């Protein structure tokens, strides 16, 4: 029997860091010298998933580029809570664009750097789902099509949160928002065709596309690092729960993100050009109800009477994700092989 | 001030914005009492020594362990490990093999010759310990480390008490016991063998002892009245097990019957088998479920071919060794009642293993003592009714195990130390228990328990070689690292990583973390995502 790489908790398989791990194997977030690109004092709500996701991603990008990084930021929560003029929480060169043109602004910065011969300076564009999947979609598609040397990061909290939780094209079916109230025959948001931006990005055949989630820090950091090793247009879609807009407890942000992955609601994968190259498997598969129940935006699905039809619809979408991306590993149930005890007698 | 184009205000950092004022709940780091520590009769800080073992610092682990228990190599063999029964990991996959790791550390210490640190100063006080069993040795060790001069007076020819005269070699090799006893004596403890204390008051007065700890154990075998012919060979378990330490081993014959249902009965039967008995039969009046012996010992005995006759009592024994056995039936309350049905059983010898009593003769004439049910009554400080005389181990009311005895020794030593200084020992208040529901088990991967190797059956039935082996370094390290660190920060960096407000300050290796309350908004993610339950949220006072 061979001794396999045992994954137990101290080596930080799932935790942020670990005292027993070699420093080079620890996450950026475990490092006392991390940049804290998005610093304390920002005005995000308690338990904000986007603030967390943004610091994870930009700190990783800073480390990957040796701190030679410029960020363009679309209007949205992330910009509003971090930079009320003249204060800022950003500890990196950072520019605020319009709601819809971040990709174009970032393209411009990348062009300027090229002209100046500063190939060491890398450019990130970032925004929420509204600025990415709705308003900035045209600019973003152009950036992809031209293969501009920009990493675009979308922090997806599934609605326009800073203006008061209005529906976006990333809002899931049945979710209650200010503009899709839980009334009538089909309460909450309609089940539309969906608008899967990572797959749209893959259709542009850009060099690198990935999805990530705040509950899987190491995976998220690895993807940002990988993206920074590549030139050309890259896209990372980060799933970030919003306690305010989703009606969840502030302390459950990471827990909710984890449930989105474990139910198959949000597939976590990585693609090069149009080909998926890796998938983060579900560890303990759960029905979508586990994910929906703790969220007040889905409360109307459970009371006064359960809306079994809508729940089944969401389950069908999750099941489709599981099949399509191969999220469940049939061999995952096999036990970890352990080294055999030898020694006396 | 000259400002750049289109700028009218001074630029500033958001650090000016103290978001800590939003908070209604504040996170706080806590230490909780891990269930293993809570269950340990010797009061070991198991989570702490596993923490050191996890990083491969075995000597530090051993030093943390021996702060409470001086006999880890013995413990790692004979302790019934209630810690593992209590272990939270048991609810996840399997409990941590604490006992195996303890044995590994104990064996490592013997192999590498680690010594205890002698006390920095001497108190000038003299303490007498009566009995060199686990309780006496433990008390002597703790008293010596507290700076007192300790003399142990032992009635027998060797130190170890029941560890030597009650536990067979195949469970506890004598070189292991000797090594751990010697290490205690190296602290300057004086051991006087073959010295029976006849009168405690007199001995204390004659030699000028300031206090005494009595731990004479329970060595007198209980007898049952069984009519037997003159030449019938009937012995008691103590005679057999003590006889195993002599040159001449006890003669038991080919068919040995053992009467009783405790661990001692099993020890005797297994010993008889190893001495060459073809049949070793245990006769017990109740059922396996009601048997006081530990299940793993019953299992090991059955593997070795020991036979057990359940629901049976022995009525008499003839010259030829024929036993008349009456069948019993359990009544509604679970007590065995005679059925009037008899059968016979051939035997070469009958060994009674019906429990032991305490020889209390050394206490004759001591005023103020209370003796009830054959044992000495002590207060919570382990002191008897006579000031300055303390007692522990099997001679006081307790569960009679080595580990409990060691715990008594420690507790008595601390109280004796305080008493000698004219003070009262006040144990540190215990933390709240770290229950399973305090953990976030998402962060723990499944990892199977390391199983200790077992001697093959043929050698178990014919030799006194140790039955259960030890773990090697890699497997012991693996096992140590299965610890969940319940209720105590193990520096996984989760709180530091998951705070959306950078309000956790990492203080560096070994120094844990601190909250920055200027910016902590009190969201509570750190509490939810702490794997081991070392963070609590408390309401802010407004």
pLDDT in tens, B482-502: 999 999 999 999 999 999 999
Judged against a pLDDT cut of 70, whether residue A201 lies above it is answered with yes
**Residue A342 main-chain phi, psi, to 5 deg:** -115, -140
Q: For B116-255, where are the alpha helices, taking DSSP H only? A: 134-145, 162-165, 174-185, 200-207, 237-243
Which structural domains are found in chain A, ordered by start? Answer: 9-325 (3.40.50.970)
Judged against a pLDDT cut of 60, whether residue A332 lies above it is answered with no
* A33-48 per-position pLDDT tens digit: 999 999 999 999 999 9
Answer whether A30 sits within 8 Å of B493, measured CB to CB. yes
pLDDT at residue A339 in the model: 35
Q: Is residue A53 less than 8 Å (CB to CB) from chain B? A: no
DSSP string, A217-235: HHHHHHHHHHHHTS-S-EE
What is the fold, at CATH topology level, of the domain defined by B14-31+489-539? Answer: Alpha-Beta Plaits (3.30.70)
Answer whether B518 sits within 8 Å of A40, measured CB to CB. yes
The angle at the Cα of B388, spanning B383 to B390, to the nearest 5 degrees, equals 35
Q: Residues 244-303, chain A: which have Cβ within 8 Å of B? A: 249-255, 258
pLDDT at residue B458 in the model: 84
Answer whether B525 sits within 8 Å of A85, measured CB to CB. no
Chain A positions in Cβ-Cβ contact with residue B534 (cut-off 8 Å): none
Distances (CA, A) of B403 to B80, B109, B166, B321, B466: 8, 19, 14, 38, 20
Q: Could you give the CA distance from residue A39 to residue B284 in angstroms, rounded to a whole number?
A: 72
Average pLDDT value for chain A: 92
pLDDT at residue A2 in the model: 31
For chain B, domain boundaries: 14-31+489-539, 126-220+357-420, 226-355
Instruction: Encode B512-529: b = buried (16+ Cβ within 10 Å), e = exposed.
Output: bbebeeebbbbbbbbbbb
Q: Residues 452-511, chain B: which have Cβ within 8 Å of A? A: 452-453, 455, 465-466, 469-472, 474-475, 478, 481-482, 484, 490-494, 496-498, 500-503, 506, 508-509
Q: Is residue A49 less than 8 Å (CB to CB) from chain B? A: yes
Cβ atoms B273, B300 nearer than 8 A: no
pLDDT at residue B279 in the model: 94
Answer whether B500 sits within 8 Å of A258, measured CB to CB. no
Q: Is residue A35 less than 8 Å (CB to CB) from chain B? A: no
The residue in chain B having the minimum alpha-carbon distance to the alpha carbon of residue A89 is: B14
Q: Could you give the CA distance from residue A225 to residue A56 in angstroms, rounded to a whole number?
A: 11
Q: Could you give the CA distance from residue A120 to residue B446 in angstroms, rounded to a whole number?
A: 43
Q: Which of B451, B455, B528 sits opposite A341 (nearest CB)?
A: B451
Chain A positions in Cβ-Cβ contact with residue B491 (cut-off 8 Å): 17-19
pLDDT at residue A44 in the model: 97
Q: Which of A17, A52, A251 sits opposite B492 (nearest CB)?
A: A17
Chain A positions in Cβ-Cβ contact with residue B172 (cut-off 8 Å): none
Q: Residues 8-27, chain A: which have Cβ within 8 Å of B? A: 8-20, 26-27
Chain B positions in Cβ-Cβ contact with residue A344 (cut-off 8 Å): 453, 466, 469-470
Q: Please give the structure tokens belonging to residue A102.
A: 């971040």
* A53-101 per-position pLDDT tens digit: 999 999 999 999 999 999 999 999 999 999 998 899 999 999 999 999 9
pLDDT level of residue A6 (50, 70, 90 thresholds): very low
Chain A positions in Cβ-Cβ contact with residue B469 (cut-off 8 Å): 341, 343-345
Q: What is the mean pLDDT of residues A327-342?
A: 52
Q: Could you give the CA distance from residue B314 to residue B282 in angstroms, rounded to a whole number?
A: 11
Answer whether A254 sits within 8 Å of B498, measured CB to CB. yes
Q: Which of B10, B447, B502 sits opposite A6 (nearest CB)?
A: B447
Q: Which of B447, B472, B522 sits opposite A336 (nearest CB)?
A: B447
To test the contact with chain A by mutation, choose from B4, B440, B501 the residue with the greatest count of A C-beta atoms within 10 A, namely B501
Answer whether B17 sits within 8 Å of A20, measured CB to CB. no
- Going from the first residue of chain B to its last (542 residues), give the mean pLDDT of each consecutive group of 10, the final group possibly shorter: 78 93 97 97 97 95 98 96 96 92 97 95 95 98 97 96 93 96 97 95 94 95 85 88 89 93 94 93 93 91 94 91 92 90 93 93 89 93 95 94 96 97 94 96 80 84 88 88 94 96 95 97 97 96 82
- Rounded to a whole number of angstroms, the distance from the CA of A144 to the nearest CA of chain B is 31
Answer whether B445 sits within 8 Å of A10, measured CB to CB. no
Indicate left, alpha or beta for B493 from its phi (over 0: left) and psi (-120 to 50: alpha): left
pLDDT at residue B474 in the model: 84
What is the strand order of the sheet B312-317 is part of? B312-317, B323-330, B336-345
The residue in chain A having the minimum alpha-carbon distance to the alpha carbon of residue B525 is: A251
Q: Is residue A93 less than 8 Å (CB to CB) from chain B? A: no
Q: Which of B450, B497, B516 sits opposite A16 (nearest CB)?
A: B497
Chain A positions in Cβ-Cβ contact with residue B14 (cut-off 8 Å): 39-43, 82, 87-89
* B297-330 per-position pLDDT tens digit: 899 999 999 999 999 999 999 888 899 999 999 9
Q: Please give the structure tokens belonging to residue B440.
A: 């976030």
Distances (CA, A) of B51 to A26, A73, B111, B194, B480: 19, 45, 22, 42, 8
Q: Please give the structure tokens belonging to residue A75.
A: 């209007």
**Cβ neighbourhood burial of B35 (10 Å; 0-12, 13-18, 19+):** buried
CA A146 to chain centre: 24
Same fold, B14-31+489-539 and B226-355: no
Q: Is residue B7 less than 8 Å (CB to CB) from chain A? A: yes
Q: Is residue B411 less than 8 Å (CB to CB) from chain A? A: no
The residue in chain A having the minimum alpha-carbon distance to the alpha carbon of residue B531 is: A15
Answer whether B448 sits within 8 Å of A336, measured CB to CB. yes
Answer whether A14 sits within 8 Å of B443, measured CB to CB. yes
Distances (CA, A) of B13 to A55, A127, B10: 16, 21, 10
pLDDT at residue A10 in the model: 53
**CATH class of the region B126-220+357-420:** alpha beta
Q: Say yes or no: ipTM exceeds 0.85.
A: yes
pLDDT level of residue A340 (50, 70, 90 thresholds): very low
Answer whether A10 sits within 8 Å of B484, measured CB to CB. no
What is the fold, at CATH topology level, of the domain defined by B226-355? Answer: FAD/NAD(P)-binding domain (3.50.50)
**Residue B447 main-chain phi, psi, to 5 deg:** -150, 115
Q: Which of B469, B482, B521 sits opposite A46 (nearest CB)?
A: B521
- Rounded to a whole number of angstroms, the distance from the CA of B248 to the nearest CA of chain A is 27
pLDDT at residue A331 in the model: 64
Answer whether B524 sits within 8 Å of A251, measured CB to CB. yes
pLDDT at residue A12 in the model: 58
CB atoms closer than 10 angstroms to residue B423: 10
Judged against a pLDDT cut of 80, whether residue A192 lies above it is answered with yes
In 3-state terms chain A splits into helix, strand, coil percentages (rounded to 5) of 35, 15, 50
Answer whether A8 sits within 8 Å of B531, measured CB to CB. no
From the list B134, B117, B12, the residue with the least C-alpha distance to B69 is B134
Answer whether B443 sits within 8 Å of A9, measured CB to CB. yes
Q: Is residue B173 less than 8 Å (CB to CB) from chain A? A: no
Q: Is residue A338 less than 8 Å (CB to CB) from chain B? A: yes
């Amino acid at each position: 029997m061979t001794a396999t790489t045992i994954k137990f908790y101290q080596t930080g398989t799932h935790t942020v860091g670990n005292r027993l791990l070699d420093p080079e194997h620890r996450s950026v977030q475990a490092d006392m010298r991390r940049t804290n690109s998005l610093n304390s004092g920002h005005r995000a709500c308690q338990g904000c998933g986007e603030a967390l996701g943004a610091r994870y991603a930009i700190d990783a990008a800073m480390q990957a580029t040796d701190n030679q990084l410029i960020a363009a930021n679309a209007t949205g929560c992330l910009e509003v809570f971090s930079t009320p003029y003249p204060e800022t929480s950003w500890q990196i060169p950072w520019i605020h664009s319009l709601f819809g043109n971040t990709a174009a602004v970032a393209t411009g910065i990348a062009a300027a750097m090229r002209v100046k011969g500063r190939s060491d300076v890398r450019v990130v564009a970032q925004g929420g789902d509204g600025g990415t999947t709705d308003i900035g979609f045209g600019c973003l598609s152009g950036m992809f099509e031209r293969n501009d040397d920009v990493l675009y990061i979308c922090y997806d909290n599934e609605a326009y949160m800073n203006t008061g939780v209005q529906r976006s094209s990333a809002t899931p079916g049945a979710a209650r928002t200010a503009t899709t109230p839980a009334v009538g025959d089909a309460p909450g948001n309609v089940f539309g065709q969906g608008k899967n931006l990572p797959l749209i990005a893959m259709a542009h055949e850009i060099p690198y596309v990935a999805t990530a989630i705040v509950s899987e820090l190491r995976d998220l950091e690895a993807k940002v690092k990988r993206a920074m090793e590549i030139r050309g247009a890259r896209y990372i879609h980060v799933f970030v729960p919003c306690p305010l807009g989703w009606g969840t407890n502030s302390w459950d942000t990471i827990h909710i993100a984890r449930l989105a992955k474990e139910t198959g609601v949000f597939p976590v994968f990585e693609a090069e050009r149009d080909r998926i190259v890796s998938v983060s498997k579900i560890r303990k598969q759960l029905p979508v109800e586990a994910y929906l129940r703790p969220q007040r935006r889905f409360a109307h699905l459970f009371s006064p009477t359960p809306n079994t039809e809508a729940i089944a619809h969401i389950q069908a979408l999750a099941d489709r994700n599981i099949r399509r991306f191969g999220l469940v590993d049939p061999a995952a149930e096999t036990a970890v092989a352990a080294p055999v005890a030898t020694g006396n007698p | 001030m000259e400002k750049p184009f289109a700028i009218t205000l001074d630029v500033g950092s958001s650090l000016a914005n103290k978001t800590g004022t939003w908070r209604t709940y504040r996170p706080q780091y806590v230490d909780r009492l891990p269930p293993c520590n809570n269950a340990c009769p010797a009061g070991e800080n198991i989570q702490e020594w596993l923490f050191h073992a996890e990083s491969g610092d075995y000597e530090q682990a051993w030093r943390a362990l021996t702060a409470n228990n001086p006999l880890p190599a013995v413990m790692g063999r004979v302790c019934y490990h209630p810690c593992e029964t209590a272990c939270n990991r048991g609810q996840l996959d399997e409990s941590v093999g604490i006992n195996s790791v303890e044995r590994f550390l104990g064996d490592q210490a013997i192999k590498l010759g680690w010594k205890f640190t002698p006390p920095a100063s001497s108190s000038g006080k003299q303490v007498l310990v009566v009995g060199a069993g686990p309780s006496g040795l433990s008390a002597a060790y703790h008293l010596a480390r507290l700076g007192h001069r300790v003399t142990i007076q032992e009635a027998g020819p060797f130190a170890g008490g029941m560890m030597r005269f009650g536990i067979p070699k195949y469970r506890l090799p004598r070189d292991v016991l000797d090594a751990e006893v010697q290490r205690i004596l190296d602290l300057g403890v004086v051991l006087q063998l073959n010295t029976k204390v006849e009168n405690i008051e007199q001995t204390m007065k004659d030699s000028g002892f300031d206090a005494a700890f009595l731990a004479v154990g329970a060595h007198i075998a209980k007898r049952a009245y069984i009519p037997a012919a003159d030449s019938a060979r009937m012995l008691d378990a103590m005679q057999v097990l003590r006889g195993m330490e002599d040159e001449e081993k006890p003669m038991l014959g080919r068919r040995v019957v053992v009467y009783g249902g405790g661990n001692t009965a099993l020890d005797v039967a297994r010993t008889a088998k190893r001495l060459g008995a073809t049949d070793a039969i245990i006769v017990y009046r109740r059922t396996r479920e009601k048997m006081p012996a530990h299940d793993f010992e019953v299992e090991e005995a059955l593997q070795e071919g020991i036979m057990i006759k359940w629901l049976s009592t022995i009525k008499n024994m003839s010259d030829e060794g024929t036993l008349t056995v009456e069948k019993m039936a359990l009544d509604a309350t679970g007590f065995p009642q005679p059925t009037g049905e008899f059968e016979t059983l051939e035997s070469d010898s009958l060994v009674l293993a019906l429990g032991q009593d305490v020889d209390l003769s050394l206490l004759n004439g001591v005023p103020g003592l209370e003796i009830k049910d054959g044992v000495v009554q002590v207060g919570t400080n382990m002191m008897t009714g006579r000031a300055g005389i303390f007692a522990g181990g099997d001679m006081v009311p307790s569960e009679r195990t080595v580990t409990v005895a060691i715990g008594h020794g420690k507790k008595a030593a601390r109280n004796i130390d305080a008493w000698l200084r004219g003070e009262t020992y006040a144990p540190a208040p215990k933390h709240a228990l770290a229950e399973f529901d305090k953990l976030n088990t998402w962060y723990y991967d499944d990892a199977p328990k390391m199983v200790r190797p077992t001697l093959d059956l043929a050698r178990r039935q014919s030799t006194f070689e140790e039955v259960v082996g030890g773990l090697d370094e890699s497997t012991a390290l693996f096992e140590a690292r299965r610890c969940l660190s319940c209720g105590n920060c193990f520096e996984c960096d989760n709180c530091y990583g998951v705070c959306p407000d950078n309000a956790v300050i990492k203080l560096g290796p070994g120094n844990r973390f601190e909250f920055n309350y200027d910016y902590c908004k009190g969201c509570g993610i750190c509490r939810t995502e702490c794997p081991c339950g070392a963070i609590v949220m408390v309401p802010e006072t407004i």
